[in-house]
Amino acid sequence: MKASPADQLRLVEIAELDAAAHQAEHARQNPPQAARVKELLAERQAQSGELARLLGIRDDAKAELARIEADVAVVDARAERDAGRLTATTSAKDAQGLEHEIASLARRKTALEDAELEVMERLESLDSDVAAQEALVAATNEEGSRLSAEGKAAVAEAATRLEAAQRDRAAVAGSVSAELLAMYERIAARGIGAGVLRRQTCEACRMVLSGNDLQRVRKAAADDVVTCPECGAVLVRTDESGL
């Protein structure tokens, strides 16, 4: 195929724009924050499960404390009632029975108060555990929100670069002959479509030409379209080609 050196050089520009578009599309599909955000989602799920467990234990402890307080109130009421009856009774037998019951109620209240103190201490520890877990969930949410915002910004920036590369590529491609562009597209479907030959090296695949390959390129006319024997990319010759 024949093509002017200027048109061949435009293929290198198209290849560079294709590479920029590919990089931008990859960045748009895979923002650097995505992996960490996925990890944070899993962490938050585990942390939320642990928080729910702690809240359930704390609720049970609160319910237990409420039952003990209700029992203390019942004991106090019965003790107060018995004390009033003891004051009013004239029967020694009744008095003895009341005194026995009052002593029993006092022991019951002491046991309940001990249990109440134990539950209150447990609640204090649970409150601390819940607060710590809530802080952990909040920190995870904060990091997730920040990274999600950064990820959206990165995606938007990559989309802008992609649009610019596609727009510029269309403009350059429009100035190249349809036949040359079709050849480039066929090669680019397999890899890099074109590269400069600089110092006898194909910049598309970094292969150094030598022997018969180099002789073939040297003998080609300036408007001959030659390709790299290694990667098949169009070899665009310049004053730096080392021929």
Interval 165-215: pLDDT, tens: 999 999 999 999 999 999 999 999 999 999 999 999 999 999 999 888 889
- Rounded CA-CA distance 137/90 in Å is 67
In CATH, the architecture of 27-160 is: Orthogonal Bundle (1.10)
Mean pLDDT over each residue of the chain, to the nearest integer = 94
What residue spans define the domains of the chain?
Answer: 5-24+174-237, 27-160
Interval 29-77: pLDDT, tens: 999 999 999 999 999 999 999 999 999 999 999 999 999 999 999 999 9
What pTM, to 2 d.p., does this model score? 0.70
Whether pLDDT at 243 is above 80: no
